[in-house]
Each structure stands twice: as structure tokens, then as C-alpha cells.
Structure 1
Amino acid sequence: MRILVTGKQGYVGTQFERWMAQYHPEVSVDLLSVRTGNLETIDFSHYDTVLHAAALVHRKETPESAGEYHRINTELTENLAFRAKLAGVKHFVFLSTVAVYGEEGSFEGAGKVIPIQQVPYPTSLYGKSKYEAEKRLQRLESLGFQVAIVRPPMIYGPDCPGNYARLAQIARKTPIFPAISGKRSMLFIDNLSAFLKEVIREKARGIYVPQNSEAVNTTKLVALIAEANGKKMRTSKLAGNICRKVLRNIPIFKKTFGTLVFELESTIKYETISLPESIWKMGDTQNR
């Protein structure tokens, strides 16, 4: 089996290649950059599957950046898939995002569990560009060109960018943290790699939302990170109540602490690492 992975500078692509080299060295994995307009030079005919992980993400969303999101996340994806299909590739795996659902964290009660098949209604430029790419890929799909769309929630792992990295930095420095009861679906990078390997092995098609087997409480997560880094951290219900009252309508606060849980993926079976084990594994990696 030969796999082409896009996103040579991206977190998911590089981590997937590393994980496959460690656990499945018998599989040929090529990691390639596709952001430089070099699609016409790629010989897709050697590959059984294309895993498209390259994307524009973590970029400030402005009216000026809308075109860039569309060009990279939508048009590049469609062009890549079209060329792969033309060359005879049978399987295309697209790394999308739960941002296509347009849901935010909630502080109302326990929050709802979002079904995988819920109709997307993205609100961000990132989510909109990914959802448009999904629709274009589905139009390209045929009996000889199967498409799997993977919508992961917040991904975390060693040296990961984004919100998790900020939480980890706080966990290593602060002695006290607000206790807030919200839960979120999250995904450890090794769990995502194991899931993607099974999707590719089975040549699966359809829409998937892989995640850790348990939803994560942000306060518990930060406490585990602190412990794994040899730090002691206390939690405060009073600070949590104050934060909820003052910050509950701030988007980044809702995204970090509000409840946002997705239906557990049950179609693809894969071995997972538990939340505490994943945090300790990261602590071991980063303290070497």
C-alpha cells in the first residue's frame, strides 16, 4: 500500500507520517507540500490513497482572508482530488473539521450531543471553506473514487498548535485554575493517526467524527497537564463562577470551557489511548 499525505508543514500530516513509520513501517507513506501550485508535477498514479491534511487554519479571519481560505481549503482540495481521480487513485481521505457544524460551547445544562449526520451550518470562514470542499468532493465521488470525510474536534498532542497549546502553557505556570463543569469532545493525535490508518485500510467512505472515548472537562484537563509536568495546581469553584458570569458570551471562553460533545464514532474500530495516558505520554515527550 502507498499513501500520499499532503501537508508537509502541517501538524496532522507530519504526525501521521511519524506514527505510521513507528507502528506500520511496512506501509509506504510520502509526505508532500501542495501549497506551492505544484499539483501538475505530482505523479498520483503510484498511490492507492491520498490523505489530504493540508489546510489554512489558525489564521485571523478578516474580509481580506476570505479569499485565501477559499483558495486553499476549497479550490486546492477540489483540484487535488480531481487530479488524483484522473490518475486512477481509488481512495481520497479529506481532513475536514467539526467547525462545519457551526456549533459553539454551551453553558446551559449538560449540553446536547451533536449527531454526526446533523446538517452543517458553518459560521466561520474556516468552517465554510471546509464544508464547501466537502460538497465538491462528494460531487467528484464515484464507484472508482471513494471519498472519506473526517471531521475531528480539537486535536491535541506534543507540540500541537492552537487552543490546547495555550491551555498547556497556563497549566505549567498557574497555581490556581477556575473550576468549570463543561465538557468537550477532543482527540489525541495518536488516536487520530490510528483512526486514519483504519479508514485507509478499509478504504472507507462517508462522514466520520473520530474522538477520544471520553469527553474532556477543561479544568480536569489542565490539572492533568500540570500533574504530568510535575506541577501542583488547585481549582477554584468561586473563580469558575465569576468567569462564567463575566465571560460566558465571549467566543474564545465558550470554545474553551463550554460543553460541546459530538456523537461517538462507532463505525471504524481502532485502538485508542485514554485521556490520562495521553497527557502523561505528552509530559514524558516534552520533558526529555
Structure 2
Amino acid sequence: MKILITGSNGYLGASFINQYKDKFEVETFSLINQELENINFDDIKVVLHYAALVHQKQEHSYEKYHKINVDYPVKLAKFAKQNGVKQFVFISTISVYGEDEKKLDENTCCNPVTFYGKSKLEAEKQLLKLNDKNFKVSIIRLPMVYGKNAPGNIDSLINLIKKFSIIPFGGITNKRTFISIQNVCYIINEIIIQQKSGIFLASDNEPLSTSKLCELIAKNLEKKVYLVKIPFFESLLKIVKPSFHKRLYGSLEIDNSITKEKLNLKNPYSVEEGIKLMIKGKD
């Protein structure tokens, strides 16, 4: 099967190509260096759209988020449909649900608060209008993705554990759901080969507490660490770095049983196996 992938230089796109390059004939497209009008859709069956403007330390205007996260994919999907492509797979985010949810599933109401989340939800709505029996639109909402060389907070945590033997994250009992890059690529592959349309929610099978995550990372680094609970540390962090506090102490559990049932899906890797692959070095 011949597929067109945007965002192939990003972490998700590059990982999918690396894992499934022997299964699919892959064409790539760059929103930065190429024009949508010049795409050759000959024999392309599926468009897999990874490219996006994600959260930035320096926040951009909503107009910029809208241009990259809404206008580009919708225009691309319309071109694809006009040229006989059968499926458009759009990588979205749990940011469409907002930031106050503690537990969510496919039916949780969306209430995005960031420009990123708002733009992704708007794109979802416009793309789903193009869905019909000849052109299937598939939306995949992802939580934080981890894996070897993945950008984000888990990489920062790994570096912290590498440098220090005493970590002030003991006794944290929150529950947070992530997904390994291997499980992400697997669910995308299943949605393509099953040609399923609609909204899908991806996640590992079990949530982790911050303390448990630290323990698993340390175990696979083969390093002895001591997780301690420091009085007033949590309260101080909540005042000084509220967003960082929320990620370390807050809970966000994902139940994607509807997605699993729809796809007859079983994640190939457990949380423990995913963390091991991240530390030991498999893409």
C-alpha cells in the first residue's frame, strides 16, 4: 500500500516510517518546503497527517495555529479526496478535552483552553465533514508519547534520575496515562489496515504514578535511587511552578475501551515493557 506522510521528520512520523517501512510504500511531504498543489496523489491510498504546530515555550497567535493545524490539513484532505485517496488519518491530541479532566474517554466533552487544543478540535470538526463511504476520516487523539529520544517531560525526568540519587518525588500517588511510541505506531497501523473511520483514543493499558514512573526508569537505568518526600516541597512547587506541579502531582486517566473494542485492539507492549524499550534504546 502506498501512503503519503506529512511531518516525516518529526518524532512520530519518523518512528512510524522506521517501524513500518517494509510494510508500506511511503511518500513524504513537507508543509515548509513544498506546495500542497504540487502533490502527486497517483496510487496514494492513505494520507497520514502528522505535521502540526504544537505547544511552544513562546506562544504563537491563534491565527498561526489555525493556519498550520486547521487550514493545511483540511486543504490537504480535500485535495486527497478529489484525487481518489481512500483514507485520511489525522493525528490529534487529548488537549481537545481541556485541562481540568481527571478521567476521560472517547465520549468526554471537549473543552480546549490552549490555542493548540482549540485548533486541533476545529480541524477534527472540519475533517469529519469530509467523511463518507469512499473517503474515510480517522482521528487519533494522543496523550504524552514516550520512547527513545522522545521530546518532553519524561526525557527531563530521565536526565534528573541519571544525575541524582535522591529524588524528591516519593509518595506521589497520582495516576497519569501515557503511551509508548511502539503502541502509537501499532494503533495507527491497525486503523489503516482496517480502514476504520471516526474518533479514536490511544493510550497504554495502565496509568502510572510519578513515583512509580521514577522507579521504572531507575530500574532500567540499573541505578539505585531514593525517592523521598520533602515537607512543603509540593506546596512550594505549586506556587512557583504550577504547570510543572500539575504534571508531577495531578492525575489524568484515560479509558480507551471503546477504541479497543472498535478495532479489536490489544496493545503489543505493557507500560513496563514500553519504559524498558525507551531506556534500553529501541525506537
Instruction: Please give the TM-score of this superposition, normalised by the length of structure 2.
Output: 0.90
Aligned equivalent of 1:146: 136
Of 200, 205, 210, 1:208 maps to 200
Instruction: Please state how far the C-alpha of 1:157 moved relative to its aligned partner.
Output: 0.6
Instruction: Please state how far the C-alpha of 1:143 moved relative to its aligned partner.
Output: 2.2
Of 31, 46, 51, 1:49 maps to 46
Q: Show structure 2 runs of 5+ residues with no match.
A: none
| Alignment CA distance shift 1:70-1:158 (3 Å) | same
Aligned equivalent of 2:86: 90
Instruction: Please state how far the C-alpha of 1:122 moved relative to its aligned partner.
Output: 0.3
Instruction: Please state how far the C-alpha of 1:26 moved relative to its aligned partner.
Output: 3.4
Of residues 158-167 and 64-73 in structure 1, the stretch that sits farther from structure 2 once superposed is 64-73
Q: Show structure 1 runs of 5+ residues with no match.
A: 106-111
Aligned equivalent of 2:10: 10
Aligned equivalent of 1:108: none
8 A contact 1:183–1:259 mirrored in 2: yes
Taking the aligned partners of 1:69 and 1:256, their CA distance within structure 2 comes to 27
Instruction: Please state how far the C-alpha of 1:104 moved relative to its aligned partner.
Output: 4.0
Taking the aligned partners of 1:61 and 1:151, their CA distance within structure 2 comes to 24
Identity of aligned residues (%): 36
Taking the aligned partners of 2:154 and 2:76, their CA distance within structure 1 comes to 30
Instruction: Please state how far the C-alpha of 1:27 moved relative to its aligned partner.
Output: 2.4
Taking the aligned partners of 1:256 and 1:98, their CA distance within structure 2 comes to 18
User: In structure 1, the residue corresponding to 2:33 is in which secondary structure?
Assistant: coil
Instruction: Please state how far the C-alpha of 1:191 moved relative to its aligned partner.
Output: 0.5
8 A contact 2:205–2:267 mirrored in 1: no
Taking the aligned partners of 1:31 and 1:5, their CA distance within structure 2 comes to 5
Alignment of 1:1-288 (within 5 A): 1-21=1-21, 25-60=22-57, 62=59, 64-104=60-100, 112-177=102-167, 178-179=169-170, 180-236=172-228, 238-239=229-230, 242-248=232-238, 250-265=242-257, 266=260, 267-268=262-263, 269-285=265-281
User: In structure 2, the residue corresponding to 1:151 is in which secondary structure?
Assistant: strand
Instruction: Please give the TM-score of this superposition, normalised by the length of structure 1.
Output: 0.89
8 A contact 1:89–1:145 mirrored in 2: yes
Taking the aligned partners of 1:256 and 1:44, their CA distance within structure 2 comes to 45
Taking the aligned partners of 1:211 and 1:115, their CA distance within structure 2 comes to 10
8 A contact 2:183–2:268 mirrored in 1: yes
Taking the aligned partners of 1:167 and 1:259, their CA distance within structure 2 comes to 17
User: In structure 1, the residue corresponding to 2:129 is in which secondary structure?
Assistant: helix
User: In structure 2, the residue corresponding to 1:31 is in which secondary structure?
Assistant: strand
Taking the aligned partners of 1:15 and 1:104, their CA distance within structure 2 comes to 30
Taking the aligned partners of 2:250 and 2:130, their CA distance within structure 1 comes to 37
User: In structure 1, the residue corresponding to 2:132 is in which secondary structure?
Assistant: coil
